[in-house]
Amino acid sequence: VMKQVTDLQRSVKALREQRGMTQQQVADKSGVARSMVGRLEMCRSGVDAGTLERVLAALGYRMTAEAVK
């Protein structure tokens, strides 16, 4: 699970750049501090699923989870 979260965090910067948005614009749209957007993009610890979900929503994506065996 942690690998998938890290992969998703790494994708945030690419998704943001594809949208032509700055970290500040994503922060403003998601209600998350700009520094947290940066931490998320750099895969730093301390970023919870709710923050990731809000940032993805600001970029036009929806986060889902699936349990598989």
SS3 content of the chain, % helix, strand, coil (to 5): 60, 0, 40
3 confidence band (pLDDT: 50, 70, 90): low
The Cα-based distances of 1 to 8, 9, 13, 31 in angstroms read 11, 12, 20, 26
pLDDT tens per residue, range 8-67: 778 899 999 999 999 999 999 999 999 999 999 988 777 788 998 999 999 999 988 777
Instruction: Determine the pLDDT at residue 24.
Output: 98
In the block, residue with structure tokens 């699970």 = 1
Of 4, 8, 24, 16, the C-alpha closest to 59 is: 16
Q: How far apart are CA 21 and CA 46, in angstroms?
A: 23
